[in-house]
């Protein structure tokens, strides 16, 4: 493996910037003859546009193995009818192996737009291999050996069944969860931001709002759940309120701290140039506070997920939280895993989206953390 990396990376025609890793791969103590051979090989290889991505064989093998063992190793009798979709899962794994073979060859072609995509694929290669190994271990521990017994554990193959047979209910729950979440987060972020900027800017507002925020803010919104369901006309309205509360608190605190922490010299500069109060708020204070606001939004999102799921478990009649309790009621643990995976994907995507927006907005910052 290290030999192939050496071959690929050795600067042949163009002088490349010296990467720290390269010196490790080709120590200067290497016998001259070997260097000459390597350099010669690299030279001819880099002139070709096709350089085989040897490491890509690993995920192909892993997925092939996953498919083979799923198909060839009979499932342990689980006391009820056999796990469904085992064959399909095995075939799918083999199909992934075939797809990876195609991608590995594509990633070996160093030309034009393929170069960038190829680099991404090569970067992801270790994870592609490891994910197959995890799935294989999961399949073996559940369906094949029963070390993790049913009904509490289910093999990955059986998840396919959830998505196929309970598609409508799951999709409906997902849609309702996202809708409720975005409604609550939208209100919470907007109100929290406005409050935060106001108490950061105005002493009077700070005097009146800060104690309330300080007193009520740390209260977990989930503790208000029973009261909220009683006071609000619908469980939907109550949930929106609680999610907004959970989001709004961190957004308000961090917007406030962002505005309060703005370098006072920025205001002096803007004021000497004739800036109005409006200009100072919207063109100085808020842009300067935005990095903090995004930290608040990140924290608010996290808190909103908790409240969303709890609210749906307690009173809302649809959504992924409701789906979890519903599945529990029928001891349908496989469905629960299915819903958990959907949740993971949605929440992780929302956070990724937030970070993408932040990277766009805060392009001026250096050393920004990559999500």
Of 218, 364, 369, 370, the one binding another protein by CB under 8 A? 364
Smallest distance from the beta carbon of 296 to another protein, in angstroms? 17
163 touching another protein, by CB under 8 A: no
Among 281, 223, 212, which residue's Cα sits nearest to residue 249?
212
Smallest distance from the beta carbon of 192 to another protein, in angstroms? 21
For residue 144, what are its two tokens?
Answer: 């094949």
**Nearest to another protein of 55, 266 (CB atom):** 266
Number of residues that bind another protein (CB under 8 A): 23
Of 165, 276, 325, 344, the one binding another protein by CB under 8 A? 276
For residue 237, CA distances in Å to 135, 161, 318 come to 41, 34, 14
Q: How far apart are the first and last CA of the chain?
A: 29
CA–CA dist 181, 328 (Å, integer)? 23
Of 25, 281, 283, 298, the one binding another protein by CB under 8 A? 283
DSSP one-letter code for 116: H
For residue 235, what are its two tokens?
Answer: 């469980």
348 touching another protein, by CB under 8 A: no
Q: Which stretch binds another protein (CB under 8 A): 46-54, 73-81, 283-291, 348-356?
A: 283-291
CA–CA dist 170, 161 (Å, integer)? 12
Of 80, 274, 329, 369, the one binding another protein by CB under 8 A? 274
Smallest distance from the beta carbon of 262 to another protein, in angstroms? 10
Residue positions counted in the chain: 371
Q: Which stretch binds another protein (CB under 8 A): 68-76, 152-160, 342-350, 357-365?
A: 357-365
279 touching another protein, by CB under 8 A: yes
Does residue 245 have a cis bond before it (omega within 30 degrees)?
no
CA–CA dist 242, 354 (Å, integer)? 21
CA–CA dist 289, 187 (Å, integer)? 20
Residues within window 243-272 making contact with another protein, judged by CB under 8 A? 263, 265-266, 268-272
362 touching another protein, by CB under 8 A: yes
- Residue 170 near residue 327, CB atoms below 8 Å: no
Q: Which helix (H) or strand (E) holds 203?
A: helix 203-216
Of 24, 120, 168, 273, the one binding another protein by CB under 8 A? 273
CA–CA dist 264, 272 (Å, integer)? 13
360 touching another protein, by CB under 8 A: no
**Nearest to another protein of 267, 333 (CB atom):** 267
Binding residues vs another protein (CB under 8 A) = 263, 265-266, 268-276, 279, 283-284, 287-288, 290, 362-366
């Amino acid at each position: 493996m290290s030999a192939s990396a050496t071959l690929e990376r050795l600067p042949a025609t163009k002088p490349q910037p010296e990467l720290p890793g390269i010196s490790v791969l080709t120590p200067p103590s290497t016998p001259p003859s070997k260097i000459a051979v390597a350099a010669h090989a690299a030279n001819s290889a880099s002139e070709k546009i096709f350089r085989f991505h040897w490491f890509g064989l690993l995920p192909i093998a892993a997925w092939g193995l996953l498919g083979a063992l799923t198909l060839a190793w009979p499932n342990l009798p689980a006391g009820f009818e056999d796990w469904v979709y085992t064959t399909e899962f095995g075939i799918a794994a083999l199909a992934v192996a075939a797809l990876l073979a195609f991608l590995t060859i594509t990633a070996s072609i160093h030309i034009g737009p393929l170069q960038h995509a190829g680099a991404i694929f090569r970067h992801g290669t270790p994870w592609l291999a490891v994910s197959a190994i995890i799935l294989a271990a999961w399949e073996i521990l559940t369906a094949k050996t029963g070390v993790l017994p049913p009904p509490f554990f289910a093999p990955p193959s059986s998840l396919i069944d959830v998505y196929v047979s309970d598609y409508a209910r799951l999709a409906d729950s997902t849609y309702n969860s996202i809708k409720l979440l975005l409604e609550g987060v939208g209100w919470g972020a907007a109100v929290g931001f406005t409050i935060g900027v106001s108490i950061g800017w105005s002493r009077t507002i700070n005097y009146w709002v800060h104690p309330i925020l300080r007193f009520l803010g740390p209260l977990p919104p989930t503790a208000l759940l029973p009261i909220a369901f009683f006071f609000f006309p619908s469980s939907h309205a109550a949930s929106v309120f609680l999610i907004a509360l959970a989001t709004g608190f961190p957004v308000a605190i961090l917007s406030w701290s962002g505005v309060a922490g703005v370098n006072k010299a920025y205001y002096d500069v803007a004021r000497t140039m004739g800036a109005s109060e409006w200009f100072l708020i919207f063109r100085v204070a808020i842009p300067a506070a935005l990095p903090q606001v995004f930290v608040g939004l990140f924290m608010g999102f996290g808190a909103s997920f908790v409240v969303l799921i709890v609210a749906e478990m307690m009173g809302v009649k649809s959504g992924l939280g409701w789906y979890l309790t519903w599945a529990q009621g029928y001891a349908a643990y496989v469905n629960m895993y299915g819903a958990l995976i959907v949740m993971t994907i949605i929440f992780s995507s929302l956070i990724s989206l937030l970070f993408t927006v932040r990277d766009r907005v805060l392009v001026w910052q250096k050393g920004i953390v990559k999500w």
